[in-house]
Chains A and B, each alone.
Chain A
Amino acid sequence: MNNILTIAGNEARRIFVSPLAWAVLGVVQLILAIVFVLSLLDYARFSEQAGDAFGVSDYVGGSLFGFAVIVLLLVMPLMTMRLFAEERKSGSLTLLFSAPVSLTQVVLGKFLGLLVFVFALLALLAAMPLSLLPATALDLGRVAAGLLGLFLLMASFGAAGLFVSSLTREPTIAAVGSFGLLLVIWLMNMLAYNDSIPFTALFGYLSLIGHFESLRRGIFSSADAIYYVLFTGLFLWLTVQRLDMERN
């Protein structure tokens, strides 16, 4: 456990001393702030017609989190691309391979370090709907469900990106590869709407985005949460296998 925390701490430090992390945080925040303000203005305009059934948490929180998913899909591959690819390219991976730590600890440590960045991003994101708290009554459970959904989704993106990063020595290829992988898993959702393809229900179930929809709408189902945990676990396990192959 100590080893995992040591690696995670170092990984988080390296993420935050790079300008990339700060640029990503800044740009994401800027884009999402624009979306937030626009949807807030929209809501202010139409809230009278919508009536009591349609609250600010639904409208603002929902559209913000929905848009955040698209931005994060573009951004997470940039954050995961360096994790293994760059270390392999610069030769510093040897440090981890010759240290008295297991591969599982290495992978979990790197993943935890990445989660520190994810938490920072989510905290900044959460600050936007929460800034309405003094002015109005928010459905906090609903915002929390949306944030939890985003967290699980980003953890899945991160695990998939970590795996792709362990396949190559070029960070850019890792970024393109994990972007492609995420998009394909995402697009499985589209297949589900096409009746001419068999197993549509299966494709719909495997899609990453389908499970986020209900969380975004404030419905917490343990099946969705377990889906993301399994997805994350699968790709972390694949990463360990891939690193083990590298030695043989």
Chain B
Amino acid sequence: MESEILIEARGLTRRYGPTVAVSDLSLTLRKGEILGLLGPNGAGKSTTMKMLTGNLAPSAGEARIKGISLHDAPTAAKQHLGYLPEQPPVYPELTVDEYLRYCAGLHGIASKARAEAVRLAKQSCGLADVGGRLIGNLSKGYQQRVGLAQAIIHRPPVIVLDEPTVGLDPIQIREIRALIAELGKSHSVILSSHILPEIQAVCSRVMIINRGRAVYDQPVTATRNAQIESLLVTLKRAPSVEALTRIVGIARAEDLGGGRFRLALAGGNDPREVLVDAAVNGNWGLIELAPEVKTLEEIFVELTSGDEQERKAA
């Protein structure tokens, strides 16, 4: 069953004068999906998120939240939205409780339900002990959590988080990731990050943006079960390169020195079993056999550095 579409963006474009920050970007996010936005600095991640949350009007294209256009009915659309920008939008002179109560009111939570909403948000973000403290006196990590609490206080179906784990210590990062994963079950979450393992750990889909364009948009599972590209083997008593290439399924063998070889595969075969048999029969002394898959990092580097080289060449 296809679940409900919560965010739909078509042809989002944003120009700042002559520079194009985001160009013709489209994305669809269904309920229960967590989309990770990846990209080098200045790729347009934050601009995209600002457009999806109504903080920035797109030069062209349209964004819809729960089917409501952000352009035609901004207040109705924003009702279903929680947004944590890069800089947590907090007031340092207020206490955590005061601030969250205000955010609850701002998002239209009835005054009777506010105390409960504040309590739940504090509980989810690990803020229960600091409710009475001034936000300005909290550490960066806690301020980040307050920002996150603000984004989820009204339990919006769509949550947009711009680098939510920046400035947190490793334990807090794990907690926030767990929280995002939890939120992702019942809400739609878009988050941006520089940290690739984070995207792989939390997200169900990855979108890579480079120079304002979406260059990759696949489920994370695609990056996990990627096809084996090559094998790395270490042999104590290495045979000649020709002997290795004779094995069915191996196209090329590259001698890396010290008995290590990188074996390029020929057309979708998995020659690992044959290779082990050959190693045993030939008494090659196989001590290491590792498949090399295309990781998210390699995909990322490949897609984002390609035109860097083009630019240099031009």
Chain A residues at the B interface, C-beta cutoff of 8 Å: 2-3, 6-7, 9-10, 13-14, 17-18, 90-102, 247-248
In the assembled complex, B69 has its CB within 8 A of some CB on chain A: no
Distance to closest chain B CB from A147 (angstroms)? 30
In the assembled complex, B56 has its CB within 8 A of some CB on chain A: yes
Q: Are B94 and A247 in contact (CB under 8 A)?
A: no
Q: Are B94 and A17 in contact (CB under 8 A)?
A: yes
In the assembled complex, B90 has its CB within 8 A of some CB on chain A: yes
Q: Are B106 and A6 in contact (CB under 8 A)?
A: yes
Q: Which residues of B from 48 to 95 have beta carbons under 8 Å from A?
A: 53-57, 74-76, 78-79, 81, 83, 85-94
CB < 8 Å neighbour of A98 from B57, B78, B94: B78
Q: Is the interface of B mostly helix, strand, loop or mixed?
A: loop
Q: Are A92 and B90 in contact (CB under 8 A)?
A: yes
In the assembled complex, B105 has its CB within 8 A of some CB on chain A: yes
Q: Are A13 and B98 in contact (CB under 8 A)?
A: yes
User: Given known contacts A6-B106, A100-B106, what 7 new A-B pairs fall within 8 Å (CB)?
Assistant: A9-B102, A13-B98, A17-B94, A90-B87, A92-B90, A93-B89, A99-B106
Q: Is the interface of A mostly helix, strand, loop or mixed?
A: helix
Q: Are B75 and A101 in contact (CB under 8 A)?
A: yes
Q: Can you report 10 residue pairs joining A to B where beta carbons are below 8 Å apart?
A: A2-B105, A9-B102, A14-B91, A18-B93, A90-B91, A91-B87, A94-B83, A95-B89, A98-B53, A100-B75
With the chains together, A114 CA to B309 CA distance in Å?
Answer: 55
In the assembled complex, B167 has its CB within 8 A of some CB on chain A: no
Q: Which residues of B contact A102 (CB under 8 A)?
A: 74-75
CB < 8 Å neighbour of B102 from A10, A18, A248: A10
Distance to closest chain B CB from A81 (angstroms)? 15
Q: Are B106 and A95 in contact (CB under 8 A)?
A: yes
CB < 8 Å neighbour of B107 from A7, A14, A99: A99
In the assembled complex, B103 has its CB within 8 A of some CB on chain A: yes
Count of chain A to chain B residue pairs whose CB atoms are closer than 8 Å in the complex: 72
Q: Which residues of B contact A94 (CB under 8 A)?
A: 55, 83, 85, 87, 89
With the chains together, A83 CA to B38 CA distance in Å?
Answer: 35
Closest A-B pairs by Cβ, 4 of them:
A91-B87, A95-B89, A6-B105, A100-B78
Q: Which residue of A lies closest to B95 (CB)?
A: A17
Distance to closest chain B CB from A69 (angstroms)? 30
Distance to closest chain A CB from B100 (angstroms)? 11
Q: Are B54 and A97 in contact (CB under 8 A)?
A: yes
With the chains together, A2 CA to B91 CA distance in Å?
Answer: 21
Q: Are B106 and A247 in contact (CB under 8 A)?
A: no
- CB-defined interface of B93-114 with A at 8 Å, one 1/0 digit per residue? 1100010001101111000000
In the assembled complex, B150 has its CB within 8 A of some CB on chain A: yes
Q: Which residues of A contact B55 (CB under 8 A)?
A: 94, 97-98, 247
Q: Which residues of A contact B86 (CB under 8 A)?
A: 91
Q: Are A7 and B89 in contact (CB under 8 A)?
A: no
With the chains together, A91 CA to B90 CA distance in Å?
Answer: 8
Q: Which residue of B lies closest to A247 (CB)?
A: B57
Q: Are A6 and B83 in contact (CB under 8 A)?
A: no
Q: Are A100 and B91 in contact (CB under 8 A)?
A: no
Known contacts A98-B54, A100-B75; is-contact A3 B89 (Cβ 8 Å) = no
Q: Which residues of A contact B78 (CB under 8 A)?
A: 98-100
